[in-house]
Amino acid sequence: MTHAPRLIAHRGLSAQAPENTLAAVRAAHDAGIDWVELDVQLLGDGTPVIWHDRDLKRCSNGRGRLDDLSRDAAAHLDAGGWFGEAFAGEPMATLTQMLELIDALDMGLNLELKVNRGRDPDALADGVLPMLLEARPAQRLIVSSFHAPALERARRHAPPERLPLGALFERIPGDWASRCEAIDAYSVHTDWRRLRAARAGEITQAGYPLLCYTANDPVAFAPRWQWGVSGVISDDPTRFEAPA
């Protein structure tokens, strides 16, 4: 990968469509945003799905834990009606379905390996990476995670030139450089509100693209561009006019 994306739609265009759904990715594409950030987890039967939470309640009409669900059961969920009537019946997307859509739309994908409490990072990486590497070219892919063991496992699947990895932090720690070196990271991702100019300078001077989540106020975010931030992950990136 040579150029980090400037504008990335957080969980798809989640300001206008239900997060982490096929509809949200289509909405991002229709709005002219060609990169999306999505979360992936495994169902109880090992099927990779695009989903953020540990349970089903917030973003579907279901109840219970994601890891108690089979693919057949997941297919009956409504993952869109909670957002609005226009999205009623929107399915929980499998990774296979999402990759097919992203390929058809020729979009870039920042896929977060979401390791919720009690879940196995190795199983997640092993269940996701072979499919991902087959489906997306390196220049249109970043795999990120807050969970270092998940990234370490992901790195076993491909070298840096084939698999760009993003080290994801809430607040960037003092040992960020050694953590990035341990996984041959491509980029650093952090909460924009917790980023400081000095730390941003360290990262950009070391040659890492710096991506910030989840920024929705272009005016408040604006100074970060001057700090060398490469890209913004936003619920509505159409509000931003990123410098060229």
pLDDT tens digits, one per residue of 130-160: 999 999 999 999 999 999 999 999 999 999 9
Q: pLDDT at residue 3 above 80?
A: no
Crossing angle of helices 148-155 and 121-135, rounded to 10°: 50
Distance between CA atoms of 233 and 196, rounded to whole angstroms? 17
Task: Please write the tens of the pLDDT for every residue from 215-229.
Answer: 999 999 999 999 999
Please give the Cα distance from 106 to 136 (Å, whole number): 9
Per DSSP, what are the bridge partners of residue 129?
none
pTM of the full structure: 0.97
Choose between 241 and 116: higher pLDDT.
Answer: 116
Asked if residue 150 lies in contact with residue 125, where contact means CB atoms within 8 angstroms, the answer is yes
d(CA 17, CA 87): 8
Residues annotated as part of the active site:
10, 52
With H, G, I as helix, E, B as strand and everything else as coil, classify residue 109.
strand
